[in-house]
A and B are shown apart, each in its own frame.
Chain A
Amino acid sequence: MAAAPIRVLLAESDALLRAAFRAGLEDHGFDVVASVGRSDDAVLEVERQAPDVAVLSAELVPTDGARTCAGIKSVDLPVRVLVISEHPDQELLLAAVDAGADGYLDRSGPLEALASAIHRVYAGEACIPSEMLGVLLRRLIQRGRDEDSAVNRYSRLSRREKEVVALLASGMDNAAIAEKLVVSRHTVRTHVQNVLEKLEVRSRVEAANLAIDFNLVERFSGEP
Chain B
Amino acid sequence: MNAHHARGHQAPRQGPGITMLRQGGESVLCDGDGRPLYSLNATAAALWELCDGETTVDEIVEAVCLVCKVEREQARADLTRTLSDLSRSNLIEW
Contact = CB atoms under 8 A, between A and B. Distances in A.
Interface in B22-38: 25
Interface size range on A against B: 10 to 19
A144 B45 CA distance: 21
B62 A144 contact: yes
A140 to B, nearest CB: 4
B59 A141 contact: yes
A97 interface: yes
Contacts, number: 48
A127 to B, nearest CB: 10
Contact of A140 (B25, B42, B49, B67): B67
A206 B78 CA distance: 39
A133 B55 contact: no
B41 to A, nearest CB: 8
Interface residues of B, number: 19
A128 B67 contact: yes
Contacts of B86: none
Given A133-B46, A137-B46, A137-B50, 19 more contacts: A97-B66, A97-B67, A124-B69, A126-B67, A128-B68, A130-B42, A133-B43, A136-B63, A136-B67, A137-B60, A137-B63, A137-B67, A138-B50, A140-B62, A140-B63, A140-B66, A140-B67, A141-B50, A144-B62
8 contacts: A102-B69, A126-B67, A130-B25, A133-B42, A137-B63, A137-B64, A140-B67, A144-B62
